[in-house]
Amino acid sequence: MPSLNDYISAERANRYKAAAMKKRETARVRAAAMQQRAPRFERRVTVRTTFYEPDMRRDADNVGFARKFVLDGLVAAGVIKDDSRKYVEQCPDRVLTDRARPRVVVEVSDE
């Protein structure tokens, strides 16, 4: 997923490029949630995001920016009602390294 720096670079180059990036990444999360038949939550939830990066070059806060795409994708898929504080209590994230399989793992819980 794009980092904050990637998004800022796209925004500076052309604001439509940044908007397209957000739309693309949100759609990817939506598609993944729907493909996995993620349950729908009516109550407040905690969304834990684990970013597995290929190396340690990007700062954790830079990578964590992608959480916005994750939350918007979950809303678009109908997994959560909204990404406001009314529906999302916590959003802890971790950034780990996996050279062989970079990925994002999202866990949603209402407990």
Sketch the domain layout of the chain as residue ranges: 4-109
pLDDT at 100 over 90: yes
C-alpha 31/C-alpha 1 separation (Å) is 14
pLDDT at 94 over 90: yes
Over residues 69-80, the pLDDT tens digits come to: 999 999 999 999
Give the whole-number percent of the chain exceeding pLDDT 90.
95
Second CATH level (architecture) for the domain 4-109:
2-Layer Sandwich (3.30)
> pTM for the whole thing?
0.91
Residues 6+ apart with CB under 8 A from 103: 52
C-alpha 37/C-alpha 7 separation (Å) is 29
Over residues 9-43, the pLDDT tens digits come to: 999 999 899 999 999 999 999 999 999 999 999 99
What is the pLDDT at residue 15?
81
